[in-house]
């Protein structure tokens, strides 16, 4: 074909001839068109070719899909059924539904726990003489804790009435296995969440490291050794195992560490916004602060003894999930060990058809209990959290959960316990108590600032019942109760003590006894606490105030001051003043009122110590002597005359 029949050359191309297509596919020639018996002449086809070859301006950018379109594509990719490997057999719909229900259950119970924990506080006023009680059962999770019930029963030989709720959890475990660990426990849910949020970067989503991490390991037996040691210690009279209970850890760490830290950060941040002197920002800061205080934050900033230790341990335990998923649940949890013993012969369990297993190990990728769900090995029933991830992941129909399963494929982790280690754990639990109590802190060298909450039982009984849950510390409206360090010896670690310099005991408040789940602090009424002379009811005393005359302003510095007397809440006041004129350094007489304490009326609330204007070490201080709960820690011999025959 001659060039006469072709269109004129395109100026920017600079040559005569056919224009190649932009997509790299050559345009069909006239011969090809004729060969295909097309009636369209070649000359007529050329404009079409030219139109295809219309130039694209240099630097043009292809339009990207919008945010809505990208979100729609992501959602389609996430919801599109993925092709399952191997035989590709789909999981049973009932199991998928149960797996999804478990996720909803975990979120619900974690929210419920946090809601009750946030509401474990008093936001009103004690004026007017109204009876103050908690509107919600804030200690509900502790009351349903079988480990707490068993431990306090062995230590005190009684079951606190409210702890009967734990029997219901035992019944659920007998039927369904360790569903509390996988469906309810807030601490377990936190571990599950952090293991998903911060996975080991070397593990990937299905790598060999992750599979090996979720296999059964010998370290999982440690929790059974700890359980044995704590139960033996309970038999000897100490509930120190509460230090390791997961619900106690959650209340203690979140209530005393996380929430005050969040309150501090929010308060400081809103203060910075308020200092901008911009009216709109200041108004927004005030509205935000009011909303947070009404819902989440505490009404004022709380400070707790050893918060950095409690919060640091929580952070370390959660961080361990980066290397060992559900670290605490698998290795250290005594409640999980208790439920594992109960779940030995649960009615609901797993069956495995080993002949179908192809060793793909998909069941291990998201296994929460490290209970050996894969084929070729026996399933550890007492380690399973009933997360149901294994059956939903299995593409070969190897795993099935059902009632009354065939037990040939099941085994127990306790069967691998070393008897020598069990004996050693029991011996440690038995020896720890006498070693702790011969360290002179309870009997012969009682620490004078060991002030227990009002309504506390005698010290030995207190050690038998207190599980270190910190509910009383969280609910105290004046921030007066704090976790002890060594004030009561190693056995009393993190038990509640009153520190008057931080906060005093509100005379009409009995909330600490209302939230105590084990009876270490008895549920008392306002009348029992304050006393009733008409009914001959003596007030409950937690200590007695004393004066350091060398630091008291009226006594040592000829400076008038009656702050302690003004704030004394008893009626009549236990602090009375002596009117006296004393000379100052210039010889001029100064009228002062020297304070004195009436030990018959002082209840040891600590209000005087809290408000003393001598800041570093107050001139008036409270010790535990004279407390109502003790028959030996006394100050007034006329009420306990040891010289009487038979006394």
pLDDT tens per residue, range 431-474? 887 787 776 666 666 788 899 999 999 988 999 999 999 999 99
Predicted confidence (pLDDT) at residue 318 exceeds the cutoff of 70:
yes
Output the DSSP codes for 302-364: ---TTHHHHHHHHHHHHHGGGTSTTHHHHHT-HHHHHHHHHGGG-SEEEEE-GGG-----HHH
**In the chain, pLDDT over 70 holds for what percent of residues?**
83
By 3-state DSSP, what share of the chain in percent is helix, strand and coil, each rounded to 5? 45, 10, 45
Q: Which domains does the chain have, with CATH numbers?
A: 3-50 (no CATH), 459-530 (3.30.70), 544-623 (3.30.70)
CA dihedral 494, 497, 500, 501 (to 10 degrees): -20
Which of 5-14, 228-237, 285-294, 530-539 is the least confident region?
Answer: 5-14
**Model pLDDT for residues 183-205, shown as the tens digit of each residue:** 999 999 999 999 888 887 665 55
d(CA 218, CA 216): 7
- Average confidence score pLDDT of the chain: 84
**In the chain, pLDDT over 90 holds for what percent of residues?**
49
Output DSSP code: residue 500.
Answer: T
- The pLDDT confidence band at residue 293, using thresholds 50, 70 and 90, is confident
Q: What are phi and psi of 66, to 5 degrees?
A: -70, 175
The pLDDT value recorded for residue 639 is 52
**Model pLDDT for residues 117-157, shown as the tens digit of each residue:** 999 988 777 776 667 888 888 999 999 999 999 999 999 88
- 7-28 burial: b if 16+ Cβ within 10 Å, else e: eeeeeeeeeeebbeeeeeeebe
Tell me the pTM: 0.82
The pLDDT value recorded for residue 413 is 57
Q: Please count the helices (runs of H) and the strands (runs of E) in the chain.
A: 27, 10
Coil vs helix vs strand at 88: coil
Give how far Cα 322 sits from Cα of 110, 223, 510, 549, Å.
Answer: 21, 20, 42, 57
**Model pLDDT for residues 328-353, shown as the tens digit of each residue:** 999 999 999 999 999 988 999 999 88
d(CA 160, CA 524): 15
The pLDDT value recorded for residue 580 is 92
Q: Which two tokens stand for residue 263?
A: 């309150």
Nearest to 166 by CA among 342, 348, 383: 342
Angle (CA) 267-269-270 rounded to 5° is 65
**Model pLDDT for residues 546-587, shown as the tens digit of each residue:** 999 999 999 999 999 999 999 999 989 999 999 999 998 888
Predicted confidence (pLDDT) at residue 46 exceeds the cutoff of 50:
no
What is the radius of gyration, based on Cα positions, of the chain? Answer: 36
């Amino acid at each position: 074909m001659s060039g006469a029949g072709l269109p004129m050359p395109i100026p920017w191309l600079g040559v005569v001839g056919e224009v190649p297509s932009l997509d790299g596919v050559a345009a069909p020639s006239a011969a090809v068109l004729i060969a295909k018996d097309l009636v369209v002449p070649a000359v007529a086809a050329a404009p079409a070719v030219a139109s295809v070859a219309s130039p694209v301006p240099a630097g043009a950018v292809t339009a990207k899909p919008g945010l809505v379109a990208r979100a729609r594509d992501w959602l389609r990719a996430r919801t599109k059924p993925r092709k399952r490997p191997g035989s590709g057999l789909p999981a049973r719909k009932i199991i998928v539904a149960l797996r999804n229900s478990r996720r909803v259950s975990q979120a619900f119970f974690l929210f419920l726990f946090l809601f009750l924990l946030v509401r474990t506080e008093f936001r009103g006023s004690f004026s007017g003489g109204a009876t103050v009680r908690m509107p919600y059962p804030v200690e509900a999770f502790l009351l349903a804790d079988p480990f707490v019930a068993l431990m306090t029963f062995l230590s005190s030989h009684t079951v606190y009435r409210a702890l009967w709720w734990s029997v219901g959890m035992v019944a659920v475990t007998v039927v369904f296995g360790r569903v509390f660990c996988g469906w309810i426990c807030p601490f377990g849910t936190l571990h599950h969440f952090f293991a998903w949020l911060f996975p080991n970067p070397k593990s990937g989503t299905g790598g060999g490291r992750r599979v090996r991490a979720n296999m059964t390991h010998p370290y999982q037996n440690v929790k059974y050794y700890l359980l044995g040691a704590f139960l033996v210690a309970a038999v000897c009279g100490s509930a120190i195992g509460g230090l390791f209970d997961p619900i106690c850890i959650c209340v203690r760490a979140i209530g005393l560490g996380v929430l005050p830290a969040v309150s501090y950060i929010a308060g400081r941040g809103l203060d910075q916004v308020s200092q901008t002197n911009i009216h709109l920002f200041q108004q927004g800061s005030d509205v935000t602060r009011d909303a947070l205080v009404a819902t989440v934050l505490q009404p004022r900033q709380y400070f707790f003894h050893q918060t950095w230790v409690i919060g640091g341990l929580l952070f370390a335990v959660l961080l361990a999930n980066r290397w060992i998923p559900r670290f605490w649940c698998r290795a250290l949890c005594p409640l999980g060990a208790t439920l594992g013993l109960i779940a030995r012969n649960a009615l609901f369990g797993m069956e495995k058809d080993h002949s179908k297993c192809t060793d793909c190990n998909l069941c291990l990728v998201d296994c929460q209990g490290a209970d050996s769900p894969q084929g070729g090995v026996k399933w550890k029933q007492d380690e399973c959290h009933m997360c149901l991830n294994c059956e939903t992941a299995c593409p070969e129909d190897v795993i099935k959960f059902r009632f009354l399963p065939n037990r040939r494929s099941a085994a127990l982790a306790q069967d691998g316990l070393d008897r020598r280690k069990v004996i050693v754990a029991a011996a440690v639990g038995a020896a720890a108590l006498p070693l702790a109590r011969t360290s002179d802190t309870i009997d012969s060298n009682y620490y004078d600032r060991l002030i227990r909450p009002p309504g506390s039982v005698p010290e030995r009984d207190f050690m038998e019942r207190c599980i270190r849950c910190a509910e009383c510390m969280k609910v105290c409206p004046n921030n007066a109760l704090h976790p002890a360090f060594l004030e009561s010896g190693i056995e009393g670690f993190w038990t509640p003590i009153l520190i008057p310099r931080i906060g005093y005991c509100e005379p009409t408040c009995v909330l600490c006894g209302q939230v105590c789940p084990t009876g270490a602090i008895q549920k008392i009424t306002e009348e029992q606490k304050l006393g009733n002379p008409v009914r001959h009811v003596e007030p409950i005393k937690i200590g007695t105030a004393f004066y350091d005359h060398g630091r008291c302003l009226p006594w040592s510095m000829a400076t008038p001051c009656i702050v302690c007397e003004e704030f004394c809440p008893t009626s009549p006041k236990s602090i009375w003043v002596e009117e006296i004129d004393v000379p100052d350094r210039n010889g001029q007489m100064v009228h002062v009122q020297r304070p004195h304490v009436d030990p018959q009326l002082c209840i040891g609330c600590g209000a005087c110590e809290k408000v003393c204007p001598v800041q570093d070490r107050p001139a008036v201080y409270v010790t535990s002597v004279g407390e109502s709960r003790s028959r030996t820690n006394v100050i007034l011999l006329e009420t306990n005359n040891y010289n009487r025959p038979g006394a």
